[in-house]
Amino acid sequence: MSRTFFCGRKFWLRNAAAPNYHQDFKFKYMRTVGFGHLRVGLAAALGGAALFLAFPLSAAAQMPQAAESAAAAPSSTHDGTIYEARYAGLSMGTIVSAKLYASDEKTAAGLADAFEQKVAEYETLFTVHGDGPLNEVNRRAGQWVPVDCRIAALVNSAKTIAQKSQSAFEPTIGMLVNVWKIGFGGDKHPQKEDIKKALEKVDYKRISVDQTPGACRVRIGAGQSLDLGAIAKGWIGTALVQDMKRAGAEHGIIDLGGNVALIENNPSGQKWRVGVQRPDAERNSILAVVEANAVSVITSGAYERKIESDGKTYGHILSAVTGEPVSTDLASVTIIDADGAAADGWCTALFAMGSKKALDAAQREGLCVILISADLKTLWVSRAIADNVKVLDKSMKIKVVP
Ligand code: ADP
Ligand code: MG
């Protein structure tokens, strides 16, 4: 039987009945790309090299469940083999990895290449460096700039989230990000005057988007700077899911530096298990496990990129109102949604809002959320997903919310 969960109006979780052959699978095909690169690149990424998009904030980890289930009973309709292709590499300023599954070897063999190609395509599409289209929009601020329609659509979504979140998420935050430089070289509180000047350039209402097919354009206000770092990886995750399904992937888990996107269920026919990182601990230390399929699981927090100055800690999510890093009573926000861009953008917004406003907005927008308080004592979870979230830290108070 399939079950459907709703957080408000949004469909997000499908528990499709698993095809028989998934009861018995072996990993025959395995492909790892770019591991040498990964090791070199990891140091560069964590050392705060120039940023492409956003850095990861949560290391969501996949539990080793698929492998455990491999010894189940054989099926009569299929030889029981499922083929796994793996990819790991450094891209978009973070570690990108994927496990992709198909039931024939040839398809699986093509998946890692297809994945690598698509990641490169999205990196080029969304780069803010060189002659990338987003850089062009910023360089020619005040003028209409032709862009790929996928960019126009994402900018439009960003504008909508900015409006609905009352600027807690602000895609024109770029000038302010450049003043603080948190996570890419900034090490102290900037001059008040510089913050004030940057803030004058922050206003999503001055973004115009023209989505005429084949002739998409974007225009931002003069002096403004568009920053899609809080939403683009979410979009890319969902796009990769669709691309890989088209390329023949039947199951898969894609991790863009803590932004996880799931292709259907796992090869054993069960839900994928995705870890939510402990905000106070090392990467890969897990506080809760989310069971889900066919969705993105995205976390925002301020524990990975921050600076200490004058005895205070400043995180990398900034307030469009005060010009300072947001002060929030939340340690992290996780959103589970089929629309990765929405999950990513809203994650940043809810984190910035703090628990009270975030809970109201989550209910209003029909978002499936897990909020963790700054003191790590309370975890709020949306009712619709509560049965699919296992909290590992038994000392936490769990509050199920509408
Ligand atoms: P990450 O991708 O690092 O996990 P987010 O999705 O929360 O985290 O995005 C954070 C990035 O978004 C910052 O590095 C900055 O470039 C940008 N940003 C900072 N403050 C805001 C804001 N209030 N609204 C939108 N983007 C923001
Ligand atoms: Mg985000």
Q: Which CATH number covers residue 307?
A: 3.10.520.10
The residue whose CA has the least distance to atom 15 of ligand 1 is 229
H/E segment holding residue 309 = strand 306-309
Asked if 101 and 148 sit in the same domain, the reply is no
- Strands 378-382 vs 368-373: parallel, antiparallel or unpaired: antiparallel
Q: Is the CB of 173 under 6 A from ligand 1?
A: yes
Token pair in block for residue 281:
């601990």
Q: Whose CA is nearest to atom 5 of ligand 1?
A: 230
pLDDT in tens, the chain (402 residues): 333 345 543 333 333 333 323 333 445 555 554 433 332 222 222 322 222 222 222 333 333 222 223 223 333 335 668 888 888 888 888 889 999 999 888 898 899 889 999 999 999 998 877 788 899 999 999 999 999 999 999 999 999 999 999 999 999 999 999 999 988 888 889 999 999 999 999 999 999 999 999 999 999 999 999 999 999 999 999 999 999 999 999 999 999 987 999 999 998 889 999 999 888 765 568 899 999 999 999 999 866 667 777 777 788 999 999 999 999 999 999 999 999 999 999 999 999 999 999 999 999 999 999 999 999 999 999 999 999 999 998 999 999 999
Does any ligand 1 atom lie closer than 6 A to the CB of residue 260?
no
Say if ligand 1 is within 6 A of residue 86 CB.
no
CB of 230 closer than 6 A to ligand 1? yes
**Where do the H-state alpha helices sit in 165-302?**
174-180, 192-199, 232-246
Establish if 333 belongs to a structural domain.
yes
* Residue 247 falls inside a structural domain: yes
Asked if 50 and 90 sit in the same domain, the reply is yes
Instruction: Please check whether residue 112 lies inside any domain of the structure.
Output: yes
Q: Residue 376: left if φ>0, alpha if ψ -120 to 50, beta else—which one?
A: left
Classify the phi-psi angles of 16: left when phi > 0, otherwise alpha if psi is within -120 to 50, otherwise beta: beta
The per-residue DSSP string of 123-190 comes to: HHHH--STT-HHHHHHHTTTS-EE--HHHHHHHHHHHHHHHHTTTSS-TTTHHHHHHH-TTTT--SPP
244 and 361 part of one domain: yes
- Given 179, 199, 219, which residue is the final one in a domain? 219
| The last residue of a domain, from among 219, 246, 273 | 219
The residue whose CA is least distant from atom 16 of ligand 1 is 229
As a whole number of angstroms, the distance between CA 298 and CA 169 comes to 15
| Cβ of 348 less than 6 Å from ligand 1 | yes
Q: How far is CA 13 from CA 249, 264, 399, in A?
A: 19, 10, 21
Proportion of the chain above pLDDT 90, given as a percent: 61
Residue 30 lies in a domain: yes
Q: Are residues 280 and 368 in the same domain?
A: yes
Name the residue range of residue 143's domain: 133-219
Classify burial at 284, counting beta carbons within 10 Å of its beta carbon; exposed 0-12, middle 13-18, buried 19 or more.
Answer: exposed
Best residue for ligand 1 mutational test, from 160, 348, 351, 353 (most atoms within 8 Å of Cβ): 348
- Give yes or no: residues 242 and 348 share one domain: yes
- What atom of ligand 1 comes closest to residue 234's alpha carbon? 6
Residue 261 within any structural domain of the chain = yes
Amino acid at 393: D
Q: What is the pTM of this model?
A: 0.84
149 and 289, same structural domain? no
In a domain, residue 225? The reply is no
Report how far residue 349's alpha carbon sits from residue 44's, in angstroms, rounded to the nearest whole number: 28
| Whether residue 182 sits in one domain with residue 39 | no
Please state, as a whole number, how many other Cβ atoms lie within 10 Å of the Cβ of residue 9: 7
Residues 257 and 147 in one domain: no
Residues 188 and 257 in one domain: no
| Total domains present in the chain | 2
| Co-location of 212 and 356 in the same domain | no
Per the CB < 8 A criterion, the answer to whether 342 and 9 are in contact is no
* Residue of the CA atom closest to atom 14 of ligand 1: 54
Angle between helices 149-164 and 232-246 (to 10 degrees): 130
CA distance 192 to 189: 9
The answer on 113 and 138 residing in a single domain is no
Ligand 1 geometric centre to CA of 335 (Å): 15
User: From the CB of 51, is ligand 1 less than 6 Å away?
Assistant: no
- Spatial distance between the Cα atoms of 273 and 298, rounded to a whole number of angstroms: 13
In a domain, 226, yes or no: no
Nearest CA to ligand 1 atom 10: 230
Of 177, 192, 219, the last residue of a domain is: 219
Residue of 227, 314, 351 best suited for mutating to test ligand 1, as the one with most atoms within 8 Å of CB: 227
224 found inside a domain: no
- Asked whether 368 and 335 are in contact (CB, 8 A), the reply is yes
Question: Do both 275 and 336 map to the same domain?
Answer: yes
